[in-house]
Chain A
Amino acid sequence: MQRVTALANIPLTIFLVGALVVHAGSDYTTMTGFLGNPFIGVLMLLLIFSACYHMRLGLQVVIEDYVHGEATKLLALIANQFFTLTIAVACALAVAKLVIG
């Protein structure tokens, strides 16, 4: 899944960077209007889930390589799960509200 999400992240992050560039000068109404578009919402949700899945796996490898104490390692791995899930849920809820209102 590390590779699958990596592949998905390429077009999805290019989409987000492109959208942010085009909306560099946009005000609140324009930006929320853009993010409220269901097609954009789908892309945002895909990006959120793919990126969060990818970074959970990635940091897990980093933790396993550099954190040596058993208890510390376990805590770090749990914190990794909590953080990535929290980011995913927070972003997804925000996107859902922007699309559905």
Chain B
Amino acid sequence: MPQSNPPVSPLAASIVVQNVRHCYGEREALRGVDLEVSAGQIFALLGPNGSGKTTLFRLISTLMPLQSGQMTVAGAAVSDVMAVRSRIGIVFQSPSLDKKLTVDENIACQAALYGLSGAAMRSRRDQVLQLVGLTDRRAELCERLSGGLKRRVELAKGMLHRPSVLLLDEPSTGLDPGARLDLWEALRAMAADGMTILLTTHLLEEADKADRLAILAEGQVIAEGSPDELQAELGEGLITVVSDDPAATEQIIREQLGVTVQRVQQQIRIQCPQPAALVPQLAEHLGASARSITVGRPGLEDVFIAKTGHRFWASADTQDE
């Protein structure tokens, strides 16, 4: 029997979110979110703190009941809690290990909760420990492991029962760059095997590695697509002008060059297909009032700024988590 193509239909392995709203009392955390994640994809939910991504994560992982809208995870409606739970694996942002137990015991505990036992459990455990590179530390108490190694045990727990959907909340928190690369390698391998992976992140460079991503801000999806698609929407070039008097500078650029600009704090941002032609003109018109004129290709932060009008990090004033 070929082992590479598991019999999971695309429909059964994906996440569908339709018009989901969620309120905490008066405050609306999600204001009509629509998403679709197909099988075998690594999908990132990118958003600053307070954007609603944790709320969405909790709804998808059946930690909170759905208030309004529709949501299907791995072919089952989220209201069918037990069905969804048996098909998903969850890696929480907060640690979920029992520090007084060894790595092996922690995983055995997880196995019992997902109906694995005996020889099947042991062989599965050997596999996941090998995958996360913890075979030689398996007999150690979890309290003796470093933060990064603990995260790897969490990951091993999440994928132990081979879920068709793996949900990870801020998976690379507390991981050093090397461990992050290992994590992504493991995620890639699992996605290649047909596992759907949804992760939340507030790190732009991490979202950049996903197959697709959705940017959340203030409870709404403001952009969705592959990282390349999203960046391509902004054109090839992006010019950033920093000046001491941005208002005046903005006026000069608008009136004398006839270019549309966007002002974000001290910065003035101009999207244009041929930045090379515009830069000398800018330098000429602005003279000494411009502290710097920078040319670059747009990144995800630029996508965020273009859609919301403010910087990614500055929008955390409605912090609530």
> Do A and B belong to a common assembly?
no
